[in-house]
Chains A and B, each alone.
Chain A
């Protein structure tokens, strides 16, 4: 890195002071210059006053993974000066607020320090305390525009779009961004050696976070009931769903809602609401994170054992217990795959980015109703809460929901007898009825032992018949869930398996390894249970690495258990530090192991 349209920079600020707006503005402005860009918000579990960071990576080649190091740091928060200054690569730049002198012990000889009196300039230019705090962010944005050759017309246009109805606010923001810009032009050689130049690479792209994309998927799939309990980092899903429903699902004649969003008393109730609604025939979903999944276990088992469709979106966060709620991980894989007591297993979809969050959420509703079972969408904080550059979302108006096998009154009338759990078609999926359809379709849902007629049983054979059918149903799901995505090279004999948000870093790592003469093929798992293609890839490579963001190599464990591949034939590359994966981590993991193997 480090060149035209190929660099990264980072802002170290204080959370709750409005820096997110300025940082988002910068990223979006770069995007509007047609240059591929990624932003990662690294924020504390706190409302106001703690250090927070925002990293922006600019990549003409379209790499979107988190950068391993940064070329420039904006050090605005004295509390994190030491850490921020230390993260800049040698030869990089530290842009800091020199309103107060910098502690000499923080000085580095291998980086350039550019001081701008942001605080003093704000105090001179603005009167209100709030403005002095908020507009300092816009001021450093202006300085960055000058240093990085970001066309000022773009942020100014964006500010006009945002504050068009508030001329005084607009005027203050423009003043601040220009002050920062002009100071840099007067005092520094602009632009820096690494800077921006217009491209045409974002014309068909959007910037969107995964939580919004999930909400859009639920809206377009026709979900009518959303139940949830607020939890970071999943909250945005239901808040966006609510905003979208208010826009698209209000009856124009009456003002009444074609949806029900229920903030439940806890995650248990959220799961219960979803299952009740799914049983009654609605497309229903909940959004949660690891702690919520723990609380929902019993209900998940009930829905599994009673064949009730439900969609659970798990925006994974870091750690057991409360863990690090604002950090990312892929550590719920095992707790999702086998959620609940007794013999249970569940299909999981693994989106890698917001684009897939949209399509896979729609697919999750289809699969839930087709297979009459809980379906999990395993997103994570990095996907869910960061803006990603992805292709524009598209919709086919020919789409119709797959409601699965639901018998209506006419179909019921033609049956000699309705048996809720009888496997007529041999695919493990029995036809269901919805409450209200008619006396002939009535049946009794029970989490206790039941036979194929839904009648209570404590007899071995009828019990086993039902759970064996559920196992057949699960096996059939392997080819119905999203199939793996491959990133292949000629003559590569090393295979890397990854999933979810690790995709960008792993594909970038594959390119870096190729430059080192190491050819690798990448398979990104997109669904569980694993289909035949997954097994074929593992069998086709002599050496397999499994890259995932948890401590215990959970994806490797699933591959070993479900496919029978020897565990030790797959080498784990694990990153469970809580930050989005970098390509360097993957490259280091592979090369370290290869060196170790040849030594």
Chain B
């Protein structure tokens, strides 16, 4: 099996974004995932979100680890550099790339095995570091490429295709991220593009680590009755508390739109996210209430979705490291090497 390039076909009447690019310009290679895989819908949502944002493709970098989810970075934005690294270690590679070149937009795609088992430590520390990136966790509760083992996000009692029930407690990436101080925490469903696309756009605009847990069913190994990560189960148990609209920098906000029940959170570079609360007492800027809401939903057997928490006052990795504004890769050598005279003077201190 080798990779398949999509034929570069574009209809002349296709809509273009602010860069004059069509949706097709944000696509990548042909997916080799199973027909109906939730991940392909997430890929489509990423294509839609980046196209709508008019993100210059060559200024983005696609980062991933290993697994079905991690393969998907090859299926969007073919004009971007991509890095399919080692299992569970995409966060550190992205941390290094972002340290070197802060001017790029980093889009990380991972899965529940990649993020919550082998890569749990790396995910946690990327959150602590507050790396400026979008981190999409395509969560299906199962190891697909190795044919159906439970992952660490599998719920207690959820059954495998062969009927075996999982007995270990799940790791919820949303609760984990909230606990670790993540500054943008959302959950969505691959089958709900209306909800997912604005969340991805807001996450891309967020200045810091934006984690989006996307329930993305595995049609081959975990879409049966008894699974709590199936399409049917997720549709039946999803509970969206807050719906997010992404407001780009250039669009003025009208009075009509700023209606009651709507709150607005400014994002990086002047954009903002508008939150439609479907219940009156939810505050997505409060970490404590976000945690309580997600935990309460879980206790009721519901899945809390939406943009659950956002903190735009946080300091991202570069602010924490006090690095210069210019990307480190752009600094001229003269600004990095102290030169001969400085070394000569320094040598006198070693006598």
Contacts and interface: CB of A to CB of B under 8 A. Distances in A.
Interface of A: 28, 31-32, 202, 205-208, 216, 219-225, 227, 248-249, 251, 254-262, 264-266, 268-282, 284, 298-299, 302, 392-397, 399-401, 433-439, 441-448, 451, 455-459, 462
A205 B57 CA distance: 54
B15 interface: no
Given A219-B337, A262-B99, A269 B125 contact: yes
A276 B74 contact: no
Contact of B93 (A206, A258, A276): A276
A220 B351 contact: no
B328 A444 contact: no
Nearest to A438: B58
Contacts of B329: 224, 280-282, 434
B338 interface: yes
A248 B81 contact: no
B336 A249 contact: yes
A279 B99 contact: no
A32 B66 CA distance: 58
A257 B3 CA distance: 42
Interface string B78-91: 11111111100101
B59 A436 contact: yes
A301 B337 CA distance: 30
B350 A277 contact: no
Contacts of B93: 272-273, 275-276, 279
A457 B124 CA distance: 33
A256 B324 contact: yes
Given A222-B333, A393-B347, A447-B86, A276 B100 contact: yes
Contacts of B339: 395, 397
Given A222-B336, A435-B81, A445-B85, 12 more contacts: A206-B347, A206-B350, A262-B95, A269-B91, A269-B95, A272-B93, A275-B96, A282-B100, A392-B347, A436-B101, A442-B58, A456-B3
Nearest to B333: A222
Contacts of B86: 272, 298-299, 302, 447
B114 to A, nearest CB: 13
A274 B351 contact: no
Contacts of B124: 265
Contacts of B82: 442-446
B37 interface: no
Interface size class of chain B, counting residues whose CB lies under 8 Å from the partner chain? 35 or more
B101 A435 contact: yes
B322 A224 contact: no
Given A276-B93, A396-B340, A442-B81, A265 B100 contact: no
Contacts of B95: 262, 269, 272-273, 276
A266 B291 CA distance: 28
B96 A435 contact: no
Nearest to B330: A281
Contacts of A456: 1-3, 74
A451 B129 CA distance: 35
B322 A31 contact: no
A248 B338 contact: yes
Interface in B52-102: 57-59, 61, 66, 73-74, 78-86, 89, 91-101
A273 B324 contact: no
A439 B79 contact: yes
B343 A258 contact: no
Given A447-B84, A458-B2, A258 B328 contact: yes
Interface string B310-337: 0000000000011111001101010111
B347 to A, nearest CB: 5
A443 B81 contact: yes
A79 B215 CA distance: 63
B33 interface: no
B3 A457 contact: yes
Nearest to B78: A442
B162 to A, nearest CB: 28
B340 A397 contact: yes
Contact of B333 (A254, A400, A448): A400
A269 B89 CA distance: 7
Nearest to A390: B350
A270 B73 CA distance: 23
A393 B339 CA distance: 12
B351 A206 contact: yes
A224 B331 contact: yes
Given A264-B92, A447-B84, A273 B99 contact: yes
A256 B84 contact: no
Contacts of A435: 61, 80-81, 97, 101, 104
A407 B36 CA distance: 40
A265 B88 CA distance: 13
B74 A277 contact: no
A265 B180 CA distance: 14
A257 B321 contact: yes
Nearest to A260: B99
A258 B104 contact: no
B121 interface: yes
Contacts of B183: none
Interface in B233-275: none
Contacts of B84: 444-448
B324 A251 contact: yes
B103 interface: yes
B342 interface: yes
B2 A459 contact: yes
B350 A272 contact: no
Contacts of A227: 96
Contacts of B333: 222, 400-401
B188 interface: no
B228 to A, nearest CB: 31
A298 B329 CA distance: 26
Contact of A258 (B61, B96, B336): B336
Given A272-B89, A276-B92, A447-B85, A220 B101 contact: no
Nearest to A213: B350
Contacts of B129: 262
A456 B29 CA distance: 11
A32 B347 contact: no
A258 B331 contact: yes
B346 to A, nearest CB: 8
Given A208-B350, A264-B125, A447-B84, A225 B100 contact: yes
A260 B78 CA distance: 30
Contact of A282 (B58, B79, B99, B122): B99
B96 A274 contact: yes
B303 to A, nearest CB: 30
A436 B81 contact: yes
B83 A279 contact: yes
B345 to A, nearest CB: 11
Contacts of B351: 28, 31-32, 202, 205-207
Contacts of A222: 333, 336-337
B74 A444 contact: yes
10 contacts: A216-B346, A224-B329, A273-B92, A284-B96, A395-B343, A435-B104, A436-B61, A442-B57, A444-B81, A444-B82
A540 to B, nearest CB: 38
B324 A272 contact: no
A284 B100 CA distance: 9
A579 B110 CA distance: 47
B26 to A, nearest CB: 11
Contact of A256 (B85, B100, B125, B325): B325
